[in-house]
Amino acid sequence: MGSIGEALAHAERLASARPDLALLQVEEILRAAPGMPQALLIKGRAQRLSGALDAARDTLAGLFADQPRSAATAFELGLTLYRTGDAPAATMALRRATELKPDMAEGWTALADVLRLAGDEAGADSAYLASVRASTNDPLLMKAALALSDNHLDVAEPILRDRLKQQPTDIAAIRMLAELAGRLGRNADAENLLRRAVELAPGFAPARFNLALVLYRRHKAEDALAELDRLLEGDPDNPGYRNLLGAVLSRIGDHDRAIAQFEKVLHGRSNNAAMWMNYGHALKTVGRQADSIAAYRRSIAIRPGLGEAWWSLANLKAIRFSGEEIAAMERALQDGSISPEDRFHLDFALGKALEDSEAWGASFRHYEEGNRLRRAALDYDADETSDQVARGRALLSAPFFAARAGQGSPAADPIFVLGMPRSGSTLVEQILASHSLVEGTRELPDIVAMAHRLSGRKRRGDASAYPEALADLSADELLALGEEYLAATRIHRHSDRPHFIDKMPNNWMHVGLIHLILPNATIIDTRRHPLGCGFSNFKQHFARGQSFSYALDDMGRYYADYVAAMAHVDEVLPGRVHRVFHEAMVDDTEAEVRRLLDACGLPFEAACLRFWETDRAVQTASSEQVRRPIFREGLDQWRHYEPWLGPLKEALGGLDAAYPAVSP
């Protein structure tokens, strides 16, 4: 029996890869042991996989008549009958397989496929959900799930991809692969996978919730809202759904509804630290500072090691931590069980607390450690930024733009405020949003997303076709892209004011694209002393993006690339960009505001000089600073840290000494 057992195992292994060889092997076994059920099952499977469907049906039907309680035989017979086109008989066989073995995930998946193609969507949905429940007992999927849990993505990915090659509609595997893609930042792949999962199983709520989350991350707010509406129809009190709904509503500027969602979530759930923190974020955005502080403190009382809540308090830049609170943060850092994310948030918060106490050296050490931890988790390559800037300067010449003059959308609605983060851009935005003809929105991702699409890149490491792809765009395509931008950003506009602000700082890399598709849009470049700006970024933890800001040398190179790119724009499109120097705005506010409004083609309004009285939501790190008159004390704060800024100065290559010169 030992030799027959080995022969059976060998035939089993061959069946998928070489069914022809498996058939030869199994015929030898059946000569030695006629009628052996296991050998006949392998024979039927090999016949099916080799395309001999009639022979497979005869083999498996005969075996099932003798072995009516064999789930494996019923499963193979069902697959074969389906391949022969006999869907009703296939359905009966697969239902029998799942009755005999309810934890057979592949049986439920196959049944779902048959029912779906037969038009029984409800039955298919139910079967797919059963396959998910059954997959908890599948050894391979359990191995993949364990690898995901331990963040061993290199182990999980090949398991899941191999499973989907064999079973393309295994929605448990699809969902896990989507989670893996999301962790790798491949959100487009995650979206495609999750759309496939909910197409197969509309009732698979966890996959639909994951899809809504990915859509939120991809800034597809309308699509995310549609998925959440569907989820809430079935489970209106689900706190996870309500929490995400609040976040999506905040993103599109519907802050009153967002706060209402958070309050509904918190009702009866007073001990959820993360929810109190998210509530604090929403309250801060609408200027309810005292309430936001109370919410953050409530979250910390529940979970003292919640680093993001401590940092959120520090980031208000309106409170000073007590000695007791500083000690509490230091104790939390000593807790070896806190996550790396909590740890770097605590370091940033302690950096700010000690800065307020004028303990410059200790403050810098915490800023440095927080940045080190954050940088270690990021895949940022300064060479990529430099390369894109160099290629843009080579392509985007004065003749290039002259040849395309008058193309794109003629709309003059957008006012782009761009430049380095922490350069005074939120102040400029608030001044403009105080004008009766201008609506403030937020940092809109649409230009960056459009550039990424034009690049053709699917994964990090792929060659980029951007900005060279701009040369291939026809007049019709440039017009369409301009109109696409206007349509995509409409969800963020909540008034009938003719102009709106897009304050995404990173759009400095895409001024050429903006000019081509929206030649009548206004472009404002906000600029600040490179050491003041650089260090202000270094001590700021951003909720997302700005990967260059977590190392002083990366920071200096990024600033230098920005200055070089904007100097090139000044050369090839003279007068196209209006520049605001932050120090000048502080020193002579009225003169700079008048220049700014002239550049935007707007009449002067006194309300722009009293910008802090403007009642609007502000979502950036400077939200509290623009709710009070201009102050000077932050301009030279970096000088206290100058002894430690050597890497920044070196990477700037002399730009700090040349400032405010606009050429590198």
The model's pLDDT over 604-614, given as tens digits with 9 standing for 90+, comes to 999 999 888 77
Q: Is the pLDDT of residue 219 over 90?
A: no
Give the side-chain half-sphere CA count within 13 A for 615: 2
pLDDT the model gives residue 157: 92
For residue 332, name the pLDDT band (cuts at 50, 70, 90).
very high
- Please tell me which of 22-36, 198-212, 333-347, 639-653 the model is most confident about, judged by mean pLDDT: 639-653
Q: What is the largest CA-CA distance in the chain?
A: 100
Centre a 10 Å sphere on the Cβ of residue 122 and count the other Cβ atoms it contains: 10
Q: Is 60 exceeded by the pLDDT of residue 664?
A: yes
The token pair that represents 309 in the structure block: 């809540």
pLDDT above 90: percentage of residues in the chain: 50
Among 53, 80, 107, residue at a domain's last position:
80
The region of weakest confidence among 127-131, 343-347, 619-623 is: 619-623
Q: Quick check: is 55 in a domain?
A: yes
- Residue 628 pLDDT more than 60? no
Task: Name the band, by pLDDT with cuts 50, 70 and 90, for residue 33.
Answer: confident
Does the structure show a pLDDT above 70 at 538? yes
Q: What's the total number of domains in the chain?
A: 2
Question: Average pLDDT in the 543-568 region?
Answer: 93
Residue 72's domain comprises 2-80
| Average model confidence (pLDDT) across the chain | 88
- Please tell me the least confidently modeled range out of 55-69, 449-463, 503-517, 638-652: 449-463
Tell me the average pLDDT across 123-144: 78
Greater model confidence, 269 or 545 = 545
Give pTM, 2 decimals. 0.71
DSSP-derived secondary structure letter, 641 = G
How does pLDDT run across 91-125, given as a tens digit for each residue? 899 999 888 888 888 888 788 778 866 767 678 77
Portion of the chain with pLDDT greater than 70, in percent? 95
In the structure, what pLDDT confidence band is assigned to residue 623 with cuts at 50, 70 and 90? very low
pLDDT, position 624: 44
Q: Which of 31, 64, 80 represents a domain boundary (last residue)?
A: 80
373 is a domain residue: no
**Angstrom distance (rounded) from CA 237 to CA 474:** 50
pLDDT tens digit string along 149-168?
A: 777 888 989 999 998 988 89
Secondary structure of residue 169 in the 3-state scheme: coil
- Residue 619 pLDDT: 47
Residue with tokens 């059963």: 130
Q: Determine, yes or no, domain membership for 299.
A: no
Q: Does the pLDDT of residue 205 top 90, yes or no?
A: no
388, 467 in Cβ contact below 8 A?
Answer: yes
Q: What is the pLDDT of residue 633?
A: 64
Mean pLDDT confidence for 503-507? 95
Q: Are strands 577-581 and 499-502 parallel, antiparallel or unpaired?
A: unpaired
- pLDDT value at position 500? 96
The answer to the question of residue 150 being in a domain is no
Q: Please state the length of the chain.
A: 664
How high is the pLDDT of residue 457?
79
**Alpha carbons 602 and 499: distance in angstroms, whole number:** 10
> Are the C-beta atoms of residues 444 and 504 closer than 8 Å to each other?
yes
Confidence of residue 631 (pLDDT cuts 50, 70, 90): low
Q: pLDDT digits over 470-481, tens only?
A: 999 999 999 999
Whether pLDDT at 627 is above 50: no
Query: What is the structure's pLDDT at 632?
Result: 63
Q: Alpha helix (H) ranges present in 18-167?
A: 19-32, 37-49, 53-66, 71-83, 87-100, 105-117, 121-134, 139-149, 153-166
Flag whether pLDDT at 404 surpasses 90: yes
Q: How far apart are CA 73 and CA 342, in angstroms?
A: 53
Q: Which two tokens stand for residue 195?
A: 């759309």
Q: Which of 80, 112, 139 is the last residue of a domain?
A: 80
Preceding peptide of 410 cis, ω within 30°? no
Kindly state whether residue 58 falls inside one of the protein's structural domains: yes
- Asked, for residue 124, whether it belongs to a domain, the answer is no
Is residue 320 in a domain? no
What CATH number is associated with residue 426? Answer: 3.40.50.300
pLDDT at 560 over 90: yes
Instruction: Locate all alpha helices (DSSP H) within 151-266, ordered by sequence.
Output: 153-166, 171-183, 187-200, 205-217, 221-234, 239-251, 255-266
